[in-house]
């Protein structure tokens, strides 16, 4: 350990080389553990943004040296106030690459490997290389995807879970002054899908309020965005709002101001307009720091087994003072990702295919984004509807209006659903005639 500064390991060694009243019951103090952390343990950090920068710094300073980081984004000026591994000269470059260079230069012996890519670009063989995966993501879809990937990688022998196939996932999330940290042992504890209803729904104002009784500056901006823009077509027919186009924002801001004046509402600003149009929740550096630190601590506990990990969900809120509590989120018996109970659709044969699609999108249990449905008839694959590929969408659009009977779907039929929220397609069994309310 000659390449490190003197006294560097004093604190870490206090945890790893002696026992204590709070230590893990099976923990055996040993100098080997630090060697494992430094030389063997391989960790993947997903996301190199607000949480990702903190996570990389925390893990690298703790002593983990084999880190990979994956991020699909490039650096923007607006990131620099909190994504402290980036400088003005780095604007436009991939976050993963710059973050890795910074850590590797600054922390001796550390080897961060960057991946400027989407998590969906990699398959099982890539994810299997890691001992632990930590997520600092701002996207629920991406979280659900990696969750599905890790569950798909589980191996069972005689219905017994093979523990060596479990890759623990530590997930951090922040939104303004709120955040959470969770530890997921795929196949063992509650997964992302088990607790899907913990994510706050996207805030949408009721249309009647926007149209008739605005009270907030946000209502005025939403009025312009939702109702006035499609009516006045300020930049031509069919031109959608581009939240990054200053001309679009200026138009929306001015019209929102006019509307606010009519109703004596104050507080419409260019900045608020931008926030509402782009659905921006301000990122708070200190919240990121707290959540990333909690995640890194959990990684340390799992990697070294020196303490019991969080079981399994920690909430944090520093809106007023500092509030935190932990609880055990329960595994959902019929979770579509991690349970072995088959999913069923209860519909009647006069329902239309579109009803199933809408159900998958709107149901709190599924919250899918653009489900595509295929089935198998006499051993042959039949595409019922796929939205993501334009040519197939056009060919299958007619099916949306057809009833399940017209599509010749029968009771007990298996339907396969693919969606961006999951790497594996899901099988649903059609239960006709006992439609749920």
* Residue pair 109/4 in contact by the 8 Å Cβ criterion: yes
Among 41, 191, 194, 208, the active-site one is 208
Which among 46-54, 114-122, 235-243, 332-340 is the span making contact with Zn ion, rule CB under 5 A?
Answer: 332-340
Q: Binding of Zn ion at residue 46 (CB under 5 A)?
A: no
- The 10 Å Cβ neighbour count of residue 151 is 23
Closer to Zn ion by Cβ: residue 33 or 195: 195
State which of residues 37, 75, 276, 338 lies at the interface with Zn ion (CB under 5 A).
Answer: 338
**Residue 208 falls in the annotated catalytic set:** yes
User: Residue 183 interacts with Zn ion (CB under 5 A)?
Assistant: no
Residue from 194, 299, 356, 432 touching Zn ion (CB under 5 A): that is: 194
Extract the tokens encoding 103: 């850590």
Residue from 56, 135, 169, 335 in contact with Zn ion (CB under 5 A): 335
Cβ neighbour number for residue 154 with a 10 Å cutoff:
16
* Cβ neighbours of 404 (radius 10 Å): 24
Smallest separation (angstroms) from Zn ion to the CB of 328: 14
Name the minimum Å distance from CB 197 to Zn ion: 12
Q: Please give the C-alpha separations between residue 226 and each of 190, 205, 209, 230, 299, in angstroms, as whole numbers.
A: 38, 11, 12, 7, 44
Distance CA 93, CA 262 (A): 45
Q: Per CB under 5 A, which region of 60-68, 186-194, 321-329, 358-366 contacts Zn ion?
A: 186-194
Residue 240 carries which DSSP code?
Answer: P
Out of 137, 150, 191, 430, which residue is the one contacting Zn ion (CB under 5 A)? 191
Tell me: does residue 337 bind Zn ion (CB under 5 A): yes
State how far the alpha carbon of 57 is from the alpha carbons of 9, 62, 106, 113, 219, in Å: 16, 8, 10, 14, 41
Nearest-angstrom CA–CA distance, 5 and 351:
69
The region of 61-69, 336-344, 414-422, 427-435 touching Zn ion under the rule CB under 5 A is 336-344
432 part of the interface to Zn ion, by CB under 5 A: no
Specify the stretch interacting with Zn ion by CB under 5 A; choose among 82-90, 158-166, 327-335, 386-394: 327-335
Smallest gap, in angstroms, from Cβ of residue 192 to Zn ion?
7
Comparing C-alpha atoms, which of 99, 120, 126, 102 is closest to residue 42?
126
Q: By CB under 5 A, how many residues form the interface with Zn ion?
A: 6
Q: By C-alpha distance, which of 193, 72, 190 is closest to 143?
A: 193
**Hey, which residues are catalytic here?**
208
Binding stretches for Zn ion (CB under 5 A): 191, 193-194, 335, 337-338
């Amino acid at each position: 350990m000659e390449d490190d500064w003197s006294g560097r390991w004093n604190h870490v060694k206090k945890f790893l080389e002696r026992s204590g009243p709070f230590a893990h019951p099976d923990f055996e103090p040993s100098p080997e553990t630090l060697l494992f952390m430094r030389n063997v343990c391989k960790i993947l950090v997903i996301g190199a943004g607000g949480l990702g920068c903190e996570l990389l710094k925390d893990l690298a300073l703790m002593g983990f040296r084999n880190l990979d980081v994956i991020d699909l984004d490039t650096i923007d000026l607006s990131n620099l106030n909190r994504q402290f591994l980036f400088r003005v000269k780095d604007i436009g470059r991939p976050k993963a690459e710059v973050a890795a260079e910074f850590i590797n230069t600054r922390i001796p012996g550390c080897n961060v490997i960057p991946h400027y890519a989407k998590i969906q670009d990699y398959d099982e063989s890539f994810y299997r290389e890691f001992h632990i995966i930590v997520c600092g993501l701002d996207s629920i879809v991406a979280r659900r995807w990696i969750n599905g990937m890790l569950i798909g990688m589980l191996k069972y022998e005689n219905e017994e879970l093979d523990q060596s196939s479990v890759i623990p996932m530590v997930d951090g999330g922040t939104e303004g002054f709120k955040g959470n940290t969770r530890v997921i042992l795929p196949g063992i504890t509650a997964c992302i899908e088990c607790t899907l209803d913990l994510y706050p729904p996207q805030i949408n104002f009721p249309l009647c309020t926007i149209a008739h009784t605005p009270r907030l500056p946000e209502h005025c901006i939403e009025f312009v965005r939702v109702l006035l823009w499609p009516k006045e077509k300020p930049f031509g027919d069919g031109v959608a709002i581009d939240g990054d186009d200053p001309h679009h924002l200026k138009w929306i801001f001015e019209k929102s101001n006019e509307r606010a004046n009519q109703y004596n509402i104050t507080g419409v600003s260019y900045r608020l307009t931008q926030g509402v149009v782009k659905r921006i929740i301000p990122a708070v550096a200190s919240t990121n720091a707290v959540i990333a630190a909690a995640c890194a601590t959990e990684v340390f506990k799992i990697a070294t087994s020196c303490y019991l990990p969080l079981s399994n969900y920690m909430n944090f809120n520093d809106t007023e003072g500092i509030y935190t509590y932990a609880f055990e989120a329960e595994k959902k018996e019929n979770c579509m990702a991690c349970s072995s109970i088959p999913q069923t659709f209860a519909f009647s044969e006069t329902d239309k295919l579109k009803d199933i699609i809408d159900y998958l999108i709107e149901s709190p249990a599924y919250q899918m984004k653009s489900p595509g449905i295929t089935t198998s008839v006499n051993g042959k694959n039949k595409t019922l509807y796929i939205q993501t590929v334009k040519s197939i969408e056009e060919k299958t659009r007619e099916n949306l209006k057809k009833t399940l009977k017209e599509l010749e779907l029968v009771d007990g039929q298996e339907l396969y659903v693919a969606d961006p929220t999951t790497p594996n397609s899901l099988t649903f069994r059609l239960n006709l005639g006992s439609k749920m309310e």
